[in-house]
Amino acid sequence: MNRAKPQDRVWITGASSGLGRALALKMASEGWRVAASARSQDQLQAVAALASAFPGSIEAFPLDVTDRDAVQETVARILEDFGPPDLVVLNAGTHKPTPAARLSTKDFRQLVELNLMGTVHCLEAVLPPLRRRREGQIAIVASLAGYVGLPLAGAYGMTKAGLINLAESLEPELRAEGVTLQVVNPGFVKTPLTDRNPFHMPFLMDVESAATAFYRGLQSGGFEIVFPRRFAYLLKLLRLLPHPLALAITRRLLPK
């Protein structure tokens, strides 16, 4: 099965800030041609400008992934103007605390529409050309929060658990058709989004280190990419514990 390599084309969503931005710059520095999507054209153009001295390049394709029709149109434009991506990184997403005291349908719907349905919109658009070519690579960005229910993260964790399940469901079919599918489960990465968290974040990674780990995982071709590994192992263990013991631990994570 062929995996994408430097000097190939990659499409990255959520590329205007945080981990997506850092990955776009990392890949351009390694010689990739990057099609970068996010809602803000100004931010995308700023990221593209930073790559001007790199061996690769970044081209902006503004997009709101919650708009299915816009996703279809943007992917068609990428295929025509940029060329068929060899690798697709579906990274667009956000986090919003959803405590029981302020549980809101609106907040849940916002995260489902962006984190989950935004990814599905992109898959619907990119799978047909990849399947026709019988090659290519897709990385779906979920989260270690999808392993187990964590306080204040009901909506976020629900969407990320859904993405993990989605990737596990699609992988056997796509592998049989020559397409590599990966799921990416980051822990806490220092970005403007996590800077708003009012709690201690264990094993917090700087965004450049996280992007390097992400890139190495893409090169490996393994199904799951996780970082930081120690935090992933702890949460995998927590998932295996009996509920009384696991819940006794997660109760201690509530903000004081």
* CB neighbour burial string for 161-179, b if at least 16 within 10 angstroms, e if fewer: bbbbebbeebbeebeeeeb
Reading the block at residue 117, the tokens are 């349905």
* Rounded-to-10 torsion of CA 110, 115, 118, 120: -130
Is 156 marked active-site?
Answer: yes
Reading the block at residue 122, the tokens are 């992109």
> Are the C-beta atoms of residues 36 and 15 closer than 8 Å to each other?
yes
Choosing from 147, 156, 215, 233, the catalytic residue is: 156
d(CA 92, CA 180) in angstroms, rounded, equals 20
DSSP state of 39: S
> Are the C-beta atoms of residues 8 and 86 closer than 8 Å to each other?
yes
Catalytic positions, please? 156
